[in-house]
Amino acid sequence: MAIPLAYNLRNLTVRKTTTIMTALGIALTVSVLVAVLALVNGLRTAFETAANPLNILVMRKGANAELTGGLARSVFEDLKSKPGIARAADGHPLASLELVTVINLPSVQNPEGTNVTVRGLTEVGLELREHVKIAEGRWFRAGRREVVVGKSVAKRFPDAQIGRKLRFGKGEWDVVGAMDAGQSATNSEIFCDLNQMSGDFNRFDGLSSALVRVPDAVSVDALINSINDDQRLNATARTEQQYMDSQTNSAAPIQYLGVFVSIIMAVGSSFAAMNTMYAAVARRAKEVGTLRVLGFSRGSILTSFFFESLLLSLLGGVLGCLLVLPLNNVTTGLMTFSTFSEIAFNFRVGPEAMAIGVAFALVMGAIGGLFPARMAAKKEILVALRDI
Amino acid sequence: MFRYVPLMLKNALRNRRRSTLTILSIAASLCLLGVMFALYRGLFLAPPKPGQELRLVARHKVSMTQPLPVSYEARIRQLPGVREAMVWQWFGGVYKDARDRRNFFARFCIEPDKLFRVRPELEMPDEQKRAFERLRTGAVASSDLAERMGWKIGERIFLTGDIYPVNPELTLVGIFKDPNTNETLFFSYFYLRELLGAGPRGDMVGTFQIQAENAEAVPRLAKAIDTMFENSTAPTKTETEQAFALQFVSFLGNIKLYLMIICAAVTFTILLVSANTMAMSVRERVREIGILKTLGYTPGAILFMILGEAGVIALMGGALGLLLASGMTAALRQGPTFVGAMRTLSITPDVGALSLALAFLIGVGSSLIPAWNAARTSILEALRDSG
């Protein structure tokens, strides 16, 4: 027969201070883990929502980042006419040649200057990015020195406001619009006209990359293989999604650091939980004896104390998640080695991260509760009752 | 006061299991705290490494991915206070297979005749230096790299370019000693230019390394160089090599803030663990404290004893934690890292002392409330307590 759970609950509430202190220790450990998961999660979302599964990114063979993509204009002309590329209603191929570079603008936090990605593209490039919408103002016009800024850029750079001018390349550019790209990393970019930009940066032939669209999911691999095998192009193709996934790796060092920290903290918290449970067992020796006299088996005593420890850690886990919750949707920035500019994104405390946090807490509770529970169950009735 | 010390130690060891668990718990937290402190010190407070004091790096104001005209070098060299200036170009590229992390090491294009003047801390036999200057396709590797790769002089090294669309075919002509134990391969910038052929690409470089004549010249030079190119199409940012290296760390976000948050969380955890232990321990001993008081122990003595007990436990946990931390930093030093500071990560005496002091303070601080309560309890009440 099992000992009612209410018995454990009451025990936890009777010794409030001890319970809360132990649970808080576990909560802090959990919150470190969940915060790191939320950071990585947010970064992943920013990159994943920027990618369309039907888009393929083409760069020069050997290049791993758009910044060093180095795709030549002549190669693009050949690429554009490849069979397998989707066409718009009016017949032009959905292929966009782009130039990506980094500029330095004074920001709110850093008047010395923060790096921002600038992308030069043509109208096709906008067609290929359905997730990007104009939020204020209008798109830039071809052949003009006009830029449209992402909403995170607008937020962080005082100069990046509609009606103002940005200085980069060979002169000033008018800010004519702000774009909203949902949760995606595109919010941290500035868009402008490809040909204007290539002139400003003396990049007439060696541009960065090309984005092409395939008509359906089946033809993705076929086009990638066909581009990779084409000796004439000397280019590498991958899906936009693969490229964005590899960008998420830039958070790997933080992820390692966070997991390392939380595991060591968990070791400490497990010992603390063990301590609390041993004390609980020691104080309740008489109770344990009484329960045994009433007919509860050793097994049910073991389960009862084990459950109590799990309850304690569950409380800690939930507390830990609550502690991190205010972080949800807080914006943070991270530089990446492939963009050399800062990507703004939001912490995302999602259900998975919280589930992992609670599970992590339960593991701590299980480790901390097992030995004390065994000790309680092993007590001889007479010895236990005699105990003061 | 010190005659209470034996009693204090006895009390600390009285519930062995609890003390052990507490010590282990504090040790785990303190081990982490020690590693974090060491990391912080290594990243932000370390003195310049050998050879770094007089070295400056000039890059494009935006980032090192934006190129500077190679002609800047001659203009920089003319500035008073410059001992030597040299092209310093990250080549990147792939050696054998990029998926294997062991194939990752730094590859730079430099000027062979100036390398050892800009980086005087590197040591290489003279005949190898001459061979490096003579052979255009020659390369030199640090002894750490050569050892790990099993390279000998004469080794053929083939790289595939990613930033540059060229594939250098190099021959190892020298192995130099680097006191900073970096894993680096250097080859000639002129060879890179030759491979690139005519065109604007070869005339642009990523960064210049500058060796100043003396320490006074360093800040002055940084300003002078940046002013010289301020209004050109490629403005520069010149900073000490140490500051330059720190920007790689800043890519990981606000590391300072992360480290501080983690340290705060860990410190608070230690506080909780220690407070909890002392509260439990005092609760069990109420009657005993009553007896001590009957025997004439003053509240002050009792306060001191309990605080001391907490301090002893925290110190023991702290010492064990530091031991673990030094083991952990030794392990981290061996791992593959891209931040140079990780190679010299260790628990230095100042880090150790700081962590121990913190542990002691937390231990004593956390037991203040239970100790105060115990000291205040009246004899009658304490003796009536059933435990």
Q: What is the pLDDT of residues A71-106, one digit of tens each?
A: 889 999 999 988 889 998 888 999 999 999 888 888
CA distance B107 to B85: 19
Q: Is B1 helix (H, G, I), strand (E, B) or coil?
A: coil
In the sheet that holds B94-95, the strands lie side by side as: B94-95, B156-160, B169-176, B138-142, B184-188, B106-110, B82-90, B207-212, B55-60, B236-240
Q: Does A336 lie at the interface with B, CB-CB under 8 angstroms? A: yes
Minimum CA–CA partner of A202 in chain B: B200
Minimum CA–CA partner of B94 in chain A: A62
Q: Does A275 lie at the interface with B, CB-CB under 8 angstroms? A: yes
Q: How confident is the model at residue B1 (pLDDT cuts 50, 70, 90)?
A: low
Asked if the structure places residue B177 within a domain, the reply is: yes
Which residues, numbered 67 to 86 in chain A, qualify as contacts with chain B under a Cβ-Cβ cut-off of 8 Å?
Answer: 67-68, 70
Confidence check: pLDDT of A3 > 80: yes
- Shared domain check, B223 and B132: yes
The alpha-carbon radius of gyration of chain B (Å, integer) is: 30
- Shared domain check, B299 and B271: yes
The answer to whether the CB atoms of B276 and A272 lie below 8 A apart is yes
> What is the number of other CB atoms lying within 10 angstroms of the CB of residue B43?
19
pLDDT value at residue A171: 86
Stretch among A172-181, A347-356, B225-234 having the lowest mean pLDDT: B225-234
Q: Does B277 lie at the interface with A, CB-CB under 8 angstroms? A: yes
Please state whether beta strands B138-142 and B106-110 pair in parallel, antiparallel, or not at all (unpaired).
Answer: unpaired
pLDDT value at residue B185: 94
Q: Pull the structure tokens for residue B113.
A: 């005749």
Q: In A, which residues are within 8 Å of B275 by CB distance?
A: 21
Mean pLDDT of A242-256: 82
Share of chain A above pLDDT 90, in %: 52
- Shared domain check, B261 and B220: no
CA distance A80 to A88: 13
Angle at A177 between CA A174 and CA A182, to 5 degrees: 140
Stretch among B45-54, B72-81, B322-331 having the lowest mean pLDDT: B45-54
**Torsion sign, CA atoms B25, B31, B36, B37:** positive
Q: What domain count does chain B have?
A: 2
B253 vs A22, A271, A333: nearest CB: A333
Residue type, A20: I
Backbone angles phi, psi at B145, to 5 degrees: -70, -45
Q: In B, which residues are within 8 Å of A275 by CB distance?
A: 18, 21-22, 25, 273, 276-277, 280
The answer to whether the CB atoms of B165 and A279 lie below 8 A apart is no
Asked if the structure places residue B123 within a domain, the reply is: yes
CA distance A116 to A160: 11
- Shared domain check, B185 and B159: yes
Asked if the structure places residue B288 within a domain, the reply is: yes
pLDDT value at residue A326: 93
- Shared domain check, B197 and B76: yes
* Cβ-based burial of B383 (10 A; exposed 0-12, middle 13-18, buried ≥19): middle
Q: Does B200 lie at the interface with A, CB-CB under 8 angstroms? A: yes
CA distance A147 to chain B (A): 19
Q: In A, which residues are within 8 Å of B168 by CB distance?
A: none
Residue B110 carries which DSSP code?
A: E
Mean pLDDT of A295-312: 92
**How far is C-alpha A281 from the geometric centre of its chain's CA atoms?**
42
> What is the number of other CB atoms lying within 10 angstroms of the CB of residue A301?
22
pLDDT value at residue B340: 57
Written as one string, the DSSP assignment of B144-209 is HHHHHHT--TT-EEEEE-SSSS---EEEEEEEEB-TT---EEEEEHHHHHHHH-SSGGGGEESEEE
CA distance A250 to B113: 36
Mean pLDDT of A306-314: 94
CA distance B79 to A349: 54
Stretch among A54-58, B58-62, B168-172, B183-187 having the lowest mean pLDDT: B58-62
- Say if CB A132 and CB A126 are below 8 A apart: yes
Q: Does B165 lie at the interface with A, CB-CB under 8 angstroms? A: yes
Confidence check: pLDDT of B75 > 60: yes
CA distance A195 to A121: 8
CA distance A295 to A118: 75
- Shared domain check, B171 and B28: no
The answer to whether the CB atoms of B279 and A17 lie below 8 A apart is yes
- Shared domain check, B269 and B202: no
pTM for this entry: 0.82
**How far is C-alpha A349 from the geometric centre of its chain's CA atoms?**
9
pLDDT value at residue B158: 93
CA distance B118 to chain A (A): 27
Asked if the structure places residue B248 within a domain, the reply is: no
Q: Does B236 lie at the interface with A, CB-CB under 8 angstroms? A: no
CA distance B171 to A320: 57
B213-241 pLDDT tens trace: 988 889 899 999 999 998 888 889 899 98
A264 vs B28, B66, B200: nearest CB: B28
Confidence check: pLDDT of B96 > 70: yes
Longest CA–CA separation in chain A, Å: 94
Confidence check: pLDDT of A107 > 60: yes
Residue-range definition of the domain harbouring residue B16: 2-47+253-384
Structure-model confidence comparison of residues B95 and A250, the more confident one:
B95
Mean pLDDT of B111-128: 93
3-state helix, strand, coil in chain B (%, to 5): 55, 15, 30
Q: Pull the structure tokens for residue B49.
A: 């490494």
CA distance B82 to B79: 6
- Shared domain check, B139 and B40: no
**Torsion sign, CA atoms B220, B221, B222, B227:** positive
**Which is nearest to A34 in space by CA: A366, A358, A314, A264?**
A358
Q: Pull the structure tokens for residue A315.
A: 């409380």
Predicted complex ipTM? 0.80
The answer to whether the CB atoms of A101 and B66 lie below 8 A apart is yes
CA distance B97 to chain A (A): 12
Residue type, A291: L
Mean pLDDT of B362-367: 90
Q: Does B233 lie at the interface with A, CB-CB under 8 angstroms? A: yes
Q: How confident is the model at residue B152 (pLDDT cuts 50, 70, 90)?
A: very high
The answer to whether the CB atoms of A250 and B251 lie below 8 A apart is yes
Please state whether beta strands B184-188 and B106-110 pair in parallel, antiparallel, or not at all (unpaired).
Answer: parallel
Please state whether beta strands A114-121 and A95-105 pair in parallel, antiparallel, or not at all (unpaired).
Answer: antiparallel
Mean pLDDT of B107-113: 94
pLDDT value at residue B79: 93
Phi-psi region of B196 (alpha: psi -120 to 50; beta: other; left: phi over 0): alpha
- Shared domain check, B210 and B76: yes
The alpha-carbon radius of gyration of chain A (Å, integer) is: 29
Structure-model confidence comparison of residues A359 and B160, the more confident one:
A359
Domain final residue pick, B234, B261, B282: B234
- Say if CB B218 and CB B184 are below 8 A apart: no
Cβ contacts of B151 within 8 Å, gap of 6 or more: B141, B145, B157, B172, B175
> What is the number of other CB atoms lying within 10 angstroms of the CB of residue A318?
18
Domain locations in chain A? 5-48+250-386, 55-216
A181-199 pLDDT tens trace: 988 989 999 999 999 999 9
**Which is nearest to B72 in space by CA: B213, B234, B185?**
B234
B263-290 pLDDT tens trace: 898 888 888 888 888 888 888 888 888 8
Q: At what angle do helices A16-48 and B255-284 cross, to 10 degrees?
A: 160
Asked if the structure places residue B42 within a domain, the reply is: yes
CA distance B313 to chain A (A): 14
Q: Does B272 lie at the interface with A, CB-CB under 8 angstroms? A: yes
Interface size, chain A vs chain B, as Cβ–Cβ contacts under 8 Å: 134
Asked if the structure places residue B116 within a domain, the reply is: yes
Question: H/E element holding B107?
Answer: strand B106-110
- Say if CB B189 and CB B111 are below 8 A apart: yes
Domain final residue pick, B205, B234, B263: B234
CA distance A94 to A215: 10
